[in-house]
Amino acid sequence: MSTALRLGEKLEKLTWTGRTAHILKEEIDRLQQAGSLSIPKEPGGWWHQYVCPHHHTELMFDPMQVDASEFLCPHGCKIEGEAYRGAWLVFKHQSLARVALQSAAVYAALGEKSYAQISKRLLVEYAEQFPLYPVHPEAQSWMLKGRAFHQALTEAIWSTTLIRAYLLLRDEGVVFEAKEQAAIDAFLGLLAGSMEEYRHILIHERNNAENNYTAWLNASLSCVYAARGEQAALEALIEGQGGFKHHLSIGVKADQLEFEGSTYYHVFVLRAYLISAEMAQRFGIDLYATTGADGQSMRGMLEALTDLADDQGALPALHDGPLARDPYAREIAEIAEQGLAIYGIAGLAPVLREAYRQLGAAGGEQLEALLYGAGEAADRAPALEPRGSRLWPDAGFVIGRAAGNPLSFLADFGEHGGSHGHYDKLHLTLMHTDQTLTPDFGMVPYGSPMRKSWFAETASHNTVSLDGRSQAPHEGRCLRYEANDSTVYAWLQSIEAYEGCTLNRHLLLTGEWLLDWFQVELAGEEPKSIEWWMHPAVQTHSEQSLSRDEVYKLLIEQKDAASNAITVTEQDLPIIGQFVPSDSIDASGSAQLNVSYALCSDPNGSAATVFHTALVQPGDELLAVQTPGDSVDPSQSLTAMLHRRNDRKADFIHVYRAGSCAELTHISAQEIAISVLGQTNSSKHIQLTADRGLLII
């Protein structure tokens, strides 16, 4: 299916290609002049350990550095230690593999032989060095061990970049001398042996063929078989257990999302699939149109991303995965370029633009564009049709969009997600066309203790916790979903988050507002602290707030893998204020809290405002809690809203509106009214029923 042009043809047909090739050439020149294109003789470690122990931010990496023993945090910390050096070496090896591919691409585009020589030298030096790296003695016990890195997974990814550089040089007629070819052949043989061994362990010994590792072991082997011209081996890999077709059937849900429910790992696996398809195409085998047992496909996976992205093109950080990170942005750009070029999926254009914006390359002057981009700039940024709502019933996500309303929502009710899941069922992400207000803040590098002490915990998400404890790992369900152009309703339920506790979240989006009615019921006689959380990423404005001198106690449970013993630790989050509702009290004793959020300016320079109205019933508290920041920089604290009630039942009723405030009226325990100030005949009565959920009456 792919109709990719060779780079020389692109230079002739596409106006942007020459400029991009020259920018990439100059980038290589700077690295060459700095003397930084020398491969380390030491293997890399585990990149997730490249994180500041004080600020929990990822440490900085400069590809211009020849070597490093001291590593800088964005806040000025200077960190030393073998684990950090091992992580730095991962980045160094990966950056040099990228230079090998980039140099091959520059040669293919511009025909300057010196860049072929740079690529060739790096490839041969790595081929000669690879057998000298030991099977990593310092890797953690759970890892499949690599040679050039702690993890075989990292090795598989790195190897695909090197082999694609080798194949591109060969395509352009570059000849390797006998000694050089012998080194490369030895490297390919050793690599194939490792990847085949680890596939056997994952698929047959651990019975874990669906693992995202498998997709990358397959991609690495696909590259090896393409480089060695072994069509039969590649065909067996595609068709066999754990191979391309089987993994597509078991590693991706029928609704086209990767089985772990993580956007990051969805992109991760999809990128491996596309590399495998690129290699298969060399033998005339078309995997681009392949479907899994339940209709899974690479096209479907790409289309899912177009629906998940916010209006700026940013992908949500569902479950484990970075909120924003340059290597991740490059991965997104790589798959988005191919989605546009191969499948013509126009909805990927904003996703691609956002990835390049994060990389500081708004014009797309990146290697991914040179390798995979097709068409002129206008073709790669087509006019987009308005997007509608979507339910992913298998993965367990729902997006609501209504015509005329700049607000939309994304909610999570599905499977826990295994080792990459969070305790976040019924989490709500609230979005505006200008900015996402309450994102999932993503995950820090796994070497940070905050992975388990905050970012996976329930209290770090926009959902409900009990008594300071996180939910159990479990799967919720969608009891009702109805969507048309003007109204979207989703009724989400969880009955396994806590023993004897039923959580029902009702989300009703109209052209005017979004209603979030979250009802919690406990089966026992003992009241508990029922805690509704909201984490705005934008500035909150509230007219009154009283300071308080107390803390919220977050209880963190950790299970010892060997003994299964559970330990509980406490983390104190400062309560820095109390939101004060209006003085007006209705007949039931309820009041309203009015809050607003100022969004970032749109391209025209005007700033939008979102208004938030909460129903405050007798016994409710609405507190301002100081929390860690997002996963990009946890040290920059944020302020969360905690709506809590000590009871056996709670109804948390909140409504959001863009541009002006909506007013809530409490009619009865099962009925409210919502009206828009200044609009006549705007009042809508909403009733909560036991069998059908919310009804507009």
* Distance, CA of 192 to CA of 196 (rounded, Å): 6
CA 359, distance to chain mean position in Å, is 16
Going by pLDDT thresholds of 50, 70 and 90, the confidence category of residue 139 is low
pLDDT for the residue numbered 563: 72
SS3 (DSSP) at 459 = helix
Is 502:651 a contact under the CB 8 Å cutoff? no
Containing 490, the helix (H) or strand (E) segment is strand 488-494
Q: Which tokens sit at 512?
A: 């005017």
Q: What is the rounded distance in angstroms from the CA atom of residue 167 to the CA atom of residue 158?
A: 15
Q: Tokens standing for 477?
A: 């369900």
> What mean pLDDT, rounded, does the chain reach?
94
Mean pLDDT of 261-276: 98
Task: Answer whether residue 601 shows pLDDT above 90.
Answer: no
**Residue keyed to tokens 């010994």:** 205
Average pLDDT over residues 377-399: 87
Q: With cut-offs at 50, 70 and 90, classify the pLDDT of residue 367.
A: very high
Under a CB-based contact definition with an 8 Å cutoff, are residues 658 and 599 in contact?
no
> Roughly what angle, to the nearest 10 degrees, separates helices 244-251 and 212-228?
160
Number of separate helices (H) and strands (E) present in the chain: 15, 25
Please indicate whether residue 586 or residue 556 has the higher confidence score (pLDDT): 556
Residue 605's region, left for phi above 0, alpha for psi from -120 to 50, else beta, is left
Least confident of 314-328, 329-343, 467-481, 666-680: 666-680
Residue labelled with tokens 């799967």: 475
pLDDT band with cut points at 50, 70 and 90 for residue 142: low
Residues 28-47 have a mean pLDDT of 96
DSSP code for 126 = H
Stretch 362-389: mean pLDDT? 86
Q: Given the structure tokens 């693992």, which residue do they identify?
A: 211
Give CA–CA dist 533/573, Å, rounded: 13
For 424, the token pair is 């976040």
Q: What percent of the chain has pLDDT over 70?
A: 96
Separation between Cα atoms, residue 130 and residue 162, nearest integer Å: 12
The CA distance from 558 to 556, in Å, is 7
Q: Read off the amino acid at residue 416.
A: H
pLDDT at 161: 98
Q: What is the pTM of this model?
A: 0.96
The pLDDT score that the predictor gives to residue 141 is 67
List of residues 6+ apart from 157 with CB closer than 8 A: 94, 216, 219, 220
Q: Where are the beta strands (DSSP E) in 585-661?
A: 591-601, 607-616, 621-627, 638-647, 649-658
Contact call for residues 340 and 298 (beta carbons, < 8 A):
no
Q: Which residue reads 């969004």 in tokens?
A: 599
Q: Above 50 in pLDDT, residue 3?
A: no
Over residues 622-626, the mean pLDDT reads 95
When comparing pLDDT for 165 and 136, which is higher?
165
What is the per-residue pLDDT across 206-227, written as a single tens digit (0 to 9) for each?
Answer: 999 999 999 999 999 999 999 9
- Residue 24 confidence (pLDDT): 97
Name the phi and psi angles at 614, rounded to 5: -120, 140
Has residue 379 got a pLDDT over 60?
Answer: yes
Residue 41 has pLDDT above 60, yes or no: yes
Alpha carbons 427 and 410: distance in angstroms, whole number:
8
* SS3 call for 167: helix
- Angle in degrees, CA 363, 368, 369, rounded to 5: 45
Element (H, E) at 271: helix 263-281
Q: Which of 89, 39, 91 is CA-nearest to residue 69? A: 89
pLDDT at 177 over 60: yes
What is the rounded distance in angstroms from the CA atom of residue 167 to the CA atom of residue 164? 5
Helical ranges in 2-56 per DSSP H: 7-13, 15-33
Helices (H), 399-552: 450
Whether the Cβ atoms of residue 426 and residue 466 lie closer than 8 Å to each other: no
Provide the pLDDT for residue 4. 61
Q: What's the pLDDT tens digit per position in 333-348?
A: 999 999 999 999 999 9
Confidence of residue 484 (pLDDT cuts 50, 70, 90): very high
What's the pLDDT at 1? 45
Give CA–CA dist 370/26, Å, rounded.
14
Give pLDDT tens digits for 220-255. Answer: 999 999 999 999 999 999 999 999 999 999 999 999
Look at residue 524 and tell me whether its pLDDT is greater than 80: yes
| Per-residue tokens: 255 | 């609704």
